[in-house]
Amino acid sequence: MSTARGIVRTEPSNKRVRIFFGGELIVDTDDALYVWEGPHYPQYYVPLGDVADDVLRPSPATRRSPSRGTASSFNVQAGGREAIDAAWSYADSPLEELRGRVRFEFDAMDAWFEEDEEIFVHPRSPNARIQILPSSRHVTVTVDDVVVADTHRPTFLHETGVIRRTYVNKLDVRMDLLTPTDTTSRCPYKGTARYWTLTTPSGEHVDLAWSYPSPFRESAQIAGLVAFYDERVDLAVGGKRQQRPTSPRS
């Protein structure tokens, strides 16, 4: 059952969750709790009793949350390594569900597993969904009056809480106008994206396009396809010019 207090919401995960650090298994639990500290995605809080012995070393640092209370911090030690203030616990939280549990900093750990599948970036929300739909609608992408993509086989990716993205086969993209960059980004649902800068006679558009060369299983349909930021291009679908969406990329 889900419970909430202020912006914080909790829900049992019903998954086995394991955490590795320093080459050692430091958490193995089937009682991990989803905790939405913000509105977009959850973190895992695990029972203190399911943490390996001598892993948590008290730290003098504390942190205060208006909804969760005051947390005591811990340094995490295992396998000859130490992560400073990488875990914390709200022993006297007004949220009873958090008491007796500890939250680990996701990126400070070596690896996280849900059941036997490794997860990345942050826990995947049980309320999020990826829907990937191949289409036969005619799609064009235009930048600076140059058509940089023209396809009758687009793939539309719908992701909960995110604007629709259009992915295009490289054979239908002006790859001669794209220069790979060192930029990458990570998504817990899709994997690691790599980027290109687009160059037209009017100038450069840095990191305008991206692709997932080896996406996770649930997003395998977009492997190797190219997407452009709709916020920065002129996109037409089925002959209809699409309004540019608003986002931090606008």
Condensed to tens digits (0 to 9), the pLDDT of residues 189-216 reads 999 999 999 999 999 999 999 999 999 9
Q: Which CATH number fits domain 3-119: 2.170.150.40, 3.40.50.720, 3.40.50.300, 2.60.40.1180?
A: 2.170.150.40
Q: What is the pLDDT of residues 28-66, one digit of tens each?
A: 999 999 999 988 899 999 999 999 999 999 999 998 988
Q: Which residues of the chain have pLDDT under 70?
A: 1-6, 248-250
Is 130-241 in the same CATH topology as 3-119? yes
pTM confidence score: 0.84
Structure-block tokens of residue 233: 């291009």
| Domain boundary assignment for the chain | 3-119, 130-241
Compute, in degrees rounded to 10, the torsion defined by CA atoms 183, 185, 190, 191: 80
Burial (0-12, 13-18, 19+ Cβ within 10 Å), 209: buried
* Helix, strand, coil content of the chain in percent (nearest 5): 10, 55, 35
Query: What pLDDT sits at residue 74?
Result: 97
Domain 130-241 has CATH 2.170.150.40: yes
> Per DSSP, which regions of 31-173 are E strands?
33-36, 43-47, 56-65, 69-78, 81-89, 101-104, 111-114, 117-119, 130-134, 139-143, 146-151, 155-159, 162-168
CB 32 within 8 Å of CB 46: yes
Q: Name the DSSP letter for residue 1.
A: -
Tokens read off for 24: 């050692």
pLDDT at 5: 54
pLDDT in the model for residue 247: 72
Partnered with residue 81 across adjacent β-strands are 78
